[in-house]
Amino acid sequence: MSIATLAVPSKGRLRETALERLAQAGWNVVPPADARSYRATVRGRDDVEVAFLSASEIARELGAGRIDAGITGEDLVREGLADSEDRLDCAARLGFGHADVVVAVPEAWFDVETMADLGEVAAGFRARHGRRLRIATKYWRLTQRHFSQEHGIQLYRIIESLGATEGAPAAGQADIIVDITSTGSTLRANRLKILSDGVILRSEACLFTAKQGVPPQIAAIAARLSANGQKKAAPSR
């Protein structure tokens, strides 16, 4: 059997739980002897190699076909790769790292509750303000798809935001935002509200694989992770 490569987040909020879930499914990742190394092994297995990469690098490496599987956030895969739905499968939803990618507008926009309302605002924006509606986000691909393809809204400008996106409207850098939210407290603190049909993606950590040519050892761990995830989602009474 040839060696399959599985990528796991090297840092950040997904790393520890990803390693825990793998261990529960029977794969104990053995940390590399040299802490600076980004390669590790799985105890008792010589048919798997573990690569520690950042969560967004995992999406890129899956897209490039350089790894057989990777645990990362669905938002990073859908945003990072143009054709991810055609090429990659979420082979196991892992039940952690939950975050929604949402469209949020200032709470003070009382008349704007839906994407259709926002479309009307966008259409009249230039006439009223002399410029297009500005959307601060780092999710430009998901934003374009949601606004242009799904809701037919074409008149807007994306302002690239790499941090503190929720602060952009108050700072006058943008009018509205597209960002992830988990507890909602950052949106509330910045007096932003989610549109009723403004949830673009409900993301969680997943084990991603290519749609075709999945090595058998990866298919096996995906099935165990998936079964364990379902047990967690529906605890017995």
Ligand X SMILES: Nc1ncnc2c1ncn2[C@@H]1O[C@H](COP(=O)(O)OP(=O)(O)OP(=O)(O)O)[C@@H](O)[C@H]1O
Ligand Y SMILES: O=P(O)(O)OC[C@H]1O[C@H](OP(=O)(O)OP(=O)(O)O)[C@H](O)[C@@H]1O
Contact residues for ligand X (CB under 6 A)? 12-14, 54-57, 73, 75-76, 97, 99, 180, 182, 203
Beta-strand pair 176-181/99-106 = antiparallel
In angstroms, give the least distance from the CB of 98 to ligand X.
Answer: 6
Q: What letters, b where the CB count within 10 A reaches 16 and e where it falls short, cover 20-49?
A: ebbeebebebeeeeeeeeeebebeebeebb
Query: Which residue number, 199 or 220, has a Cβ lying nearer to ligand Y?
Result: 199
CB contact at 8 A, 14 and 72: yes
Query: Which residue number, 121 or 180, has a Cβ lying nearer to ligand X?
Result: 180
Query: Which residue number, 125 or 166, has a Cβ lying nearer to ligand X?
Result: 166
**180 makes contact with ligand Y (CB under 6 A):** yes
Walk across the sheet containing 45-53 and list its strands. 29-30, 39-42, 45-53, 4-9, 69-73, 205-210, 88-93
In angstroms, give the least distance from the CB of 166 to ligand Y.
Answer: 6
Q: From the list 57, 75, 79, 166, which residue makes contact with ligand Y (rule: CB under 6 A)?
A: 166
H-assigned helices in 1-90: 15-24, 55-64, 74-80, 84-87
56 binds, among ligand X, ligand Y, none (CB under 5 to 8 A by kind): ligand X
Q: Which stretch binds ligand Y (CB under 6 A): 50-58, 86-94, 180-188, 200-208?
A: 180-188
106 binds, among ligand X, ligand Y, none (CB under 5 to 8 A by kind): none
Query: Which residue number, 13 or 45, has a Cβ lying nearer to ligand X?
Result: 13
Binding pattern to ligand Y, positions 117-156, x when CB under 6 A? ----------------------------------------
CB contact at 8 A, 76 and 63: no
Please give the size of the binding site for ligand Y, defined by CB under 6 A: 10
In angstroms, give the least distance from the CB of 42 to ligand Y.
Answer: 28
Question: Alpha-carbon distance 121 to 112, whole Å?
Answer: 8
- Please count the other Cβ atoms lying within 10 Å of the Cβ belonging to residue 155: 15
Its sign, for the CA torsion 180, 185, 191, 197, is positive
Query: Which residue number, 56 or 114, has a Cβ lying nearer to ligand X?
Result: 56
Its sign, for the CA torsion 147, 152, 153, 157, is positive
Give the 3-state secondary structure percentages of the chain, helix then strand then coil, rounded to 5: 35, 30, 35
Query: Which residue number, 15 or 45, has a Cβ lying nearer to ligand X?
Result: 15
CB contact at 8 A, 88 and 65: no
Query: For ligand X, which residue has the nearest CB?
Result: 73
184 binds, among ligand X, ligand Y, none (CB under 5 to 8 A by kind): ligand Y
Site residues (CB under 6 A) for ligand Y?
Answer: 163, 166, 179-186
